[in-house]
Amino acid sequence: MRRRTIHALALVTLLAGSVLGSSLALAEGGVLTIGRREDGTTFDPIKTAQNVDFWVFMNVHDVLVRVDRTGKELVPGLAESWEMSPDGLTYTFKMRDAKFSDGSPITAEDAAFSILRIRDSEESLWSDSYQVVKTAEAKDDRTLVVTLNAPSAPFLASLAMPGVSVLSKAAIEADEIDFGEMPVASGAFKVKEWIRGDKVVLERNPEFWEADKVKLDGVEWISVPDDNTRMLKVQAGELDAAIFVPFSSVAELEKNPDLTVHKDPSTREDHLLLNHEHPALAKKEVRQALDFAIDKQAIVDTVTFGVGEVANSYIPRGALYHNEDNLQRPYDPEKAKQLLAEAGESDLTLNYLVEAGAQTWEQTAVLIQEQLAKAGVTVNLQKVDPSTAWDIEVAGEYDLAENYWTNDVIDPDQKTTFVLGHDTNMNYMTRYNNPKVKELVDQARVEMDPAKREALYKEIQVIAKDDVHWIDLYYSPFVNVSRKSIENFYQNPLGRFFLEDTVKN
């Protein structure tokens, strides 16, 4: 009996759905299907630091201050305008007249709640970055006042970080766990369905303050872990688009007249971590010798198939305050040999930690192994499970290891602090320690004059390069593919897809 009812219901829903669906498809913009490697973990922005989550909820939650398409400018989001007090300690935001997907108004109270929550919640992964906030209060429904403990140049940029999206206070207080699954949305899309491990189905949010701009009816993020399969599905038209295009497939996909390959500028930099606690790697000349001994152009050509470009600084090209004139040591194995001999390390053997299954990293490791051999350095590759690689790096039980960084905010302070500023993670696991650099990092954080700040960051880049805190390898873009019928499908350098602009023909 029960079974039959369900069948009948399903049939009715199906019929209604198909009728509605087809009529809507004519009137509206259809559903965009995007293939990606893995499923996300949560829609609660403070509980994740992963791109798999960020890239999806950046279109579900809106922020007070947005980053524009170029990734270099801050533009109004849910805050229409803002003012900073002359002492740099008080920010006053004027909120836009906007609504959540449940129809309730988005108030200054919600914004204040969201800022304090990322700072204070025990489950927040980002509380360190927001300790500079002293208070956040709603003066009235539309006026938000935030005070800081100290002037902070990167503060405004940090409000554009997806983790501090404006969330509905009422919804979170009602059921915080459920919010992570089925959030109340302030962005262009809301969650319709989430089949764990398979796909996230989003539908347009009619209450979104820019709703008339949104063309798509919905977006489906579909998990297709195997790179080859994902590419084939786009080629066959089963998916409208796919992200994480392997470098090795770019040339082949570009030949296909039905497809567009996107190489959107990103802030990704791949680098080789050096453990400064290793007795030989503690010597600056040895680190410089390794930099001379690694042929980055060969890595770019072989691993990224020419899609990437050689890196010359920890601040990526295209990001704020990148130093274009930073030193780029040429590939010179003889010079490396000589430097090593002078340092008394002619017979050096190093352990290179490689994450199993990370194809481009494995390829880089095999290349670097052979390149360093030419400079007389023996490299042993030590392949480990990806889940343990990070722990081994944190524990310092490695000599060399490749890693990467992508920026979450446009301001360079976050990365600089993590990588050079003696942060709690030992300067991104390298154990690099230069008090002069730490001083400059602290100084740059509070310097409010952009020209002076830029000079400080350039100086930091020059010293970091001279010290070889790590070895810069290459920058690479976000490589995505979409069918020709899809327009305006792009990612900004911070990873946000502007799906409110995307059109499906």
Partner 1 sequence: MSVALARPRLRTPGLPVPLVLGVLLVGAWAVLAVGAPWLAPYDPIAQDMAAKLQPPSAAHWLGTDNFGRDILSRVIWGARIDLQIGFLGVIFPFLIGTCIGAISGYAGGIVDNVFMRLVDIVLAFPFLVLMIAIIAVLGPGLASFYIAMALVGWVSYARLIRAQVLVLKHADFVLAAKSLDFGHGRILFRHILPNALTGSIVFAMSDAVLVILNGAAISYLGLGVQPPIAEWGLMIAEGQGFITTAWWITTFPGLAIVVLAFGFSLLADGLGELLGVRE
**What residue type is assigned to position 134 of the chain?**
K
CB of 463 to partner 1, least distance (A): 33
Please report which helix (H) or strand (E) contains residue 113, including its range. Answer: helix 108-120
Q: Which one of residues 205, 249, 430, 491 is an interface residue with partner 1 (CB under 8 A)?
A: 249
Based on CB atoms, which residue is closest to partner 1, 18 or 380? 380
Neighbour-count burial of 1, counting CB atoms closer than 10 A to its CB (0-12 exposed, 13-18 middle, 19+ buried): exposed
DSSP 247: G
Based on CB atoms, which residue is closest to partner 1, 296 or 322? 296
Q: Does 256 bind partner 1 (CB under 8 A)?
A: no
Q: Does 37 bind partner 1 (CB under 8 A)?
A: no
Q: Which one of residues 310, 381, 446, 503 is an interface residue with partner 1 (CB under 8 A)?
A: 381
Based on CB atoms, which residue is closest to partner 1, 184 or 368? 368
Q: Which one of residues 138, 282, 298, 426 is an interface residue with partner 1 (CB under 8 A)?
A: 298
The strand ranges marked E within 176-326 are 189-195, 199-204, 218-223, 241-242, 259-274, 309-310
Closest CA to 189 of 345, 59, 328, 285: 59
Based on CB atoms, which residue is closest to partner 1, 144 or 231? 231
Based on CB atoms, which residue is closest to partner 1, 366 or 462? 366
Based on CB atoms, which residue is closest to partner 1, 226 or 342? 226
* Binding-site string for partner 1 from residue 338 to residue 367, where x marks contact by CB under 8 A and - marks none: ----------------x-xx-x--xx-xxx
Closest CA to 466 of 374, 260, 328, 357: 328
Contact (Cβ atoms closer than 8 angstroms) between residue 166 and residue 114:
yes
Based on CB atoms, which residue is closest to partner 1, 89 or 366? 366
Contact (Cβ atoms closer than 8 angstroms) between residue 441 and residue 417:
yes
Q: Does 383 bind partner 1 (CB under 8 A)?
A: yes
**What residue type is assigned to position 28 of the chain?**
E
DSSP 184: P
CB of 294 to partner 1, least distance (A): 14
Contact (Cβ atoms closer than 8 angstroms) between residue 243 and residue 482:
no
Q: Which one of residues 370, 391, 397, 442 is an interface residue with partner 1 (CB under 8 A)?
A: 370
Q: State which of positions 384-443 bind partner 1 (CB under 8 A).
A: 384-385
Contact (Cβ atoms closer than 8 angstroms) between residue 166 and residue 61:
yes
Based on CB atoms, which residue is closest to partner 1, 78 or 299? 299
Size of the site for partner 1 (CB under 8 A): 28
Dihedral class, residue 264 (left if φ above 0, else alpha if ψ from -120 to 50, else beta): beta
* Binding-site string for partner 1 from residue 305 to residue 344, where x marks contact by CB under 8 A and - marks none: ----------------------------------------
Sequence-ordered list of residues with C-beta below 8 angstroms from that of 75, at least 6 positions apart, any chain: 65, 66, 67, 68
* Residue 160: both structure tokens together: 């554009």
* Residue 277: both structure tokens together: 């606690």
Candidate ranges 5-13, 59-67, 176-184, 381-389; the one touching partner 1 (CB under 8 A)? 381-389
Q: Which one of residues 369, 417, 430, 482 is an interface residue with partner 1 (CB under 8 A)?
A: 369
Q: Does 248 bind partner 1 (CB under 8 A)?
A: yes
Q: How many CB atoms lie within 10 A of CB 464?
A: 25
Cα 350 from Cα 365, distance rounded (Å): 12
Cα 46 from Cα 67, distance rounded (Å): 19
Q: State which of positions 217-246 bind partner 1 (CB under 8 A).
A: 227-228, 231-232, 246
Q: Which one of residues 92, 302, 433, 443 is an interface residue with partner 1 (CB under 8 A)?
A: 302
Cα 436 from Cα 197, distance rounded (Å): 47
Based on CB atoms, which residue is closest to partner 1, 88 or 376? 376
Catalog residues that contact partner 1 under the rule CB under 8 A. Answer: 227-228, 231-232, 246, 248-249, 251-252, 298, 301-302, 354, 356-357, 359, 362-363, 365-367, 369-370, 381-385
